[in-house]
Structures are given as structure tokens and as C-alpha cells.
Amino acid sequence: MRCTANRKVGADKKEFLIVDSCQSAVALHPAVEAYATISLSLIRVNDCAYFHFHTRSPPPMLHLRRPTWTSTQRQHVRESATQALRQFIFDSQLLHNDGGSIEWTLDGSTDKGGLVQLYTGKTPFNVVVFANARRVRGTLAQAATLADQFPTSHHFDALESVAVASLDEDDSATDNHHHHVGVTWMAVKAAPSAKVRDACVLEVRDMFETGEAKGFASLVQSIDVCPEATGFVRMHIQHTGYTFTEVSPGLLDVVCCMHVDFRGTLPSWVAR
């Protein structure tokens, strides 16, 4: 892999490498192309790649690859993403489960900083999902903006993350600026003495309407695109994300759902 790059310093005084172009010197499967073999953090991928030097020790080096989908494959990914988000919206209805596949049980509530209700759900495949719900002041546009500003890796406190693919350019002809479909790889420290976990996830965000209500939803779930790498335990994520449903102008019901199978060996309190 041969790359040309320029060193830059951002406004926050952090140093970046701007990679202008890369030429692969290795033969790869025709369905993928190489990005780079590097232990730096790729934080954005457009026409060029931006790498950020971390002060902490990075996880083992990963040979990153991104898919080169045909138009048919891209359309299939987008349709799958839309279907997954629609099902997640139904599944996250904690009180009236019309069309949802998860049976929810209210475990209790806490009133620290506002009333938060805690739920446990079970899917038809006996997968346990945890959720919490609360009411906040805000608008759907504000919720969508926050989801765009804080990517998936932020919620998981990722050590490293890579924007592997984005299908947002397919929406350039529409006015739906809140719609997003992308693929992200991230590395997560599960516990101090445990191996670093990694995940390759499909990210889907969009506005929605269900009968009388309008809302915004953000879903994260594992997708089999990134190859497994030595030194990581590949965790599996599903039924994970947020829904914001408008109760009245300026008032939203927020539901956060999560299921993460860390796999491998971990203390039970970590998995919980």
C-alpha cells in the first residue's frame, strides 16, 4: 500500500495526516478494496482519508477494507437498512407493541435527573434486550442533529473507529437531510483485563411516522462486511438505538434500546 499524505494541524492543535491518494500493492478479493494498514484512527472517509494520532496506545493494527458494491448491491443494502429501521421502530414501542416482535416488561424506574423507566425485553429467539424511556424537551430536528454530531463510536466509547462506507450520496436528489445509511467499524474496550472487542455495524437514521405520531429513529446493528482481525473478539450488536417520538410541539418521548453480545469470556457484570 503506497499513500501520499500531508501533515496538518487542526484548530484544536491536534495533528492530522491528510491522505490524498493510495495505491494498493496487494491482490484483494474483487468485492473489496484496501484502505490502509495503519494503527492510526480513520475518522472520516470521503475523497480522501483523515487519520488522527491518538495519545493512548491504539489496539492492534487492522487491515481495513471497504466494500465496492454494484448499484444493485447498494440498493439491496439500502432496502435492508430501511426494513431493519422500520422493524426497530415497531420493536421499541414499549407500551403498545403493534407490529413489534419484542415482549417488554417494566423492571422499575429511577428519578435521578428526571423519571427514567427501565425495561427488559425478549425477542422470539430468546434474545434479551434492555431499554429505558424518558420524556424530554426538544424537537425532532434537534434529535436528528445530535445523532449526526455524535456517531455510533461515541455511544460505545470506542478506542478506534472507521467510517467504512456511506450511502448518503444516494439521497442527494432528495430533501431528506436526516436520512443516513452507513457502515462503521469500531474497537471497544470491554473490561480492563479482557481482549479488545470490535464490531462492524450498519448505521441507519431517518424520520418516521406511525399513525398519529411523528418521530426520528437511529439504529445500529451488526453487518457482515468487515473481515475479522487478529487480536480482536468480534462482538454482535442488534436491537440497539434510539427513537424520539413527538408527544406535542417541543416535547419528545425517548426510548433507548440495547443488546450487545460481547462473545468470548467476560465477567457477568460486564455483559450486564
Q: DSSP string of 54-121?
A: -SSPPPSPEEEEEE---HHHHHHHHHHHHHHHHHHHHHT-SS--TT---EEEEEEEE-TTS-EEEEEE
Residue among 79, 257, 253, 255 at smallest CA distance from 181: 79
Q: Which strands form 41-45's sheet, in the order they lie side by side?
A: 2-9, 15-23, 49-52, 41-45
Give the pLDDT of residue 174: 56
Give the pLDDT of residue 170: 57
Q: What is the mean pLDDT of the chain?
A: 75
In the block, residue with C-alpha cell 468487515: 226
Q: Under CATH, what is the fold of the domain 71-271?
A: Alpha-D-Glucose-1,6-Bisphosphate; Chain A, domain 4 (3.30.530)
Q: Which residue spans of the chain are classified as CATH 3.30.530.20? A: 71-271
| Greater pLDDT, 201 or 39 | 201
* Structural contact between residues 128 and 120, judged by C-beta atoms closer than 8 angstroms: yes
Question: What is the radius of gyration, based on Cα positions, of the chain?
Answer: 20
* Structural contact between residues 104 and 130, judged by C-beta atoms closer than 8 angstroms: no
pTM score > 0.85 for this model? Answer: no
Give the pLDDT of residue 237: 95
Q: Would you say residue 51 has pLDDT above 50?
A: no
Pairing of strands 15-23, 49-52: antiparallel
DSSP state of 270: H
Residue among 229, 105, 254 at smallest CA distance from 164: 229
How far is residue 82's CA from residue 96's CA, in Å, rounded to a whole number? 22
Residue 6 to residues 9, 14, 164, 165: CA-CA distances in angstroms?
A: 10, 14, 22, 23
The per-residue pLDDT for range 178-227, each reduced to its tens digit, is: 899 999 999 998 777 788 999 999 999 999 998 878 999 999 999 998 88
Give the pLDDT of residue 19: 39
Task: Outline where the chain has alpha helix (H).
Answer: 71-91, 140-149, 152-155, 268-271
- Please report how many Cα atoms fall inside a 13 Å half-sphere around the Cα of residue 95, on the Cβ side: 6
Query: 172 - beta bridge partners?
Result: none
Give me the amino acid identity at 266: L
Pairs from 95-103 (Cβ < 8 Å, separation ≥ 24): 102/129, 102/239
Give the pLDDT of residue 172: 56
Give the pLDDT of residue 30: 28
Model confidence band, residue 231 (pLDDT cutoffs 50, 70, 90): confident
Model confidence band, residue 11 (pLDDT cutoffs 50, 70, 90): very low
Q: Which of 3-17, 133-147, 221-235 has the highest mean pLDDT?
A: 133-147
In the block, residue with C-alpha cell 429467539: 125
Give the pLDDT of residue 59: 43
